[in-house]
C-alpha cells in the first residue's frame, strides 16, 4: 500500500486529528486496531470553517468522515464530524467536538452525538 505524503495547514491538521480520534473511539478501541488513512480529500475552506474528507481502513472495514473545524482565532476550536457508512445504524451521524489544551498538541473532546437520518 502506498504511503500518503501530507502537507496540511493547521486547520486541516486539526481536522485529521479529530477524524482519527473519532474513528479510534468508535471502532478501534474494541478491536485494538489503529485506523489507517486511505485517502484525504480537501474540502471547503473559508473564513467560517475548514473541511476535510478522510477515508480510513481498519481490518475489513472502510469508513469515511467529513470533519468541519470552525475557523477564526478563538481557542479552543470547535467543530463537527459527519460519519457516512453503509450500515443503516451509522447513516448521517454527526458529532460535535472541542479541541482543548495546548494548541500545538490539543486534546479532542466529543461533546454530543446526533442522528440526522429522517
Query: What is the C-alpha separation between 88 and 105, in angstroms, rounded?
Result: 35
Instruction: Specify the pLDDT at position 117.
Output: 46
Instruction: Specify the pLDDT at position 114.
Output: 62
Instruction: Specify the pLDDT at position 21.
Output: 83
Instruction: Specify the pLDDT at position 107.
Output: 92
> 82: which strand partners?
66, 94
Three cell numbers written together for 111: 461533546
Q: What's the pTM value of the predicted model, to 2 decimals?
A: 0.72
* CB neighbour burial string for 11-36, b if at least 16 within 10 angstroms, e if fewer: bbebbbbbbbbbbbebbbeeeeeebe
Mean per-residue pLDDT of the chain: 77
Instruction: Specify the pLDDT at position 43.
Output: 85
Spans of the chain below 50 pLDDT: 88, 117-118
> 55: which strand partners?
39, 64
Query: What is the C-alpha separation between 31 and 16, in angstroms, rounded?
Result: 21
* CB neighbour burial string for 48-79, b if at least 16 within 10 angstroms, e if fewer: ebbbbbbbbebeebebbbbbbbeeeeeeebbb
Instruction: Specify the pLDDT at position 70.
Output: 85
Amino acid at each position: 500500500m502506498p504511503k500518503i505524503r501530507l502537507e496540511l495547514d493547521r486547520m486541516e491538521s486539526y481536522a485529521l486529528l479529530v477524524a482519527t480520534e473519532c474513528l479510534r473511539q468508535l471502532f478501534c478501541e474494541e478491536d485494538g486496531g489503529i485506523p489507517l488513512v486511505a485517502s484525504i480529500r480537501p474540502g471547503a475552506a473559508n473564513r467560517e470553517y475548514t473541511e476535510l474528507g478522510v477515508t480510513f481502513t481498519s481490518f475489513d472495514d472502510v469508513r469515511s468522515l467529513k470533519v468541519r473545524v470552525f475557523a477564526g482565532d478563538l481557542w479552543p476550536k470547535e467543530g463537527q464530524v459527519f460519519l457516512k457508512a453503509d450500515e443503516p445504524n451509522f447513516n448521517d451521524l454527526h458529532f460535535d467536538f472541542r479541541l482543548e489544551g495546548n494548541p500545538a498538541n490539543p486534546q479532542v473532546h466529543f461533546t454530543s452525538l446526533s442522528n440526522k437520518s429522517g
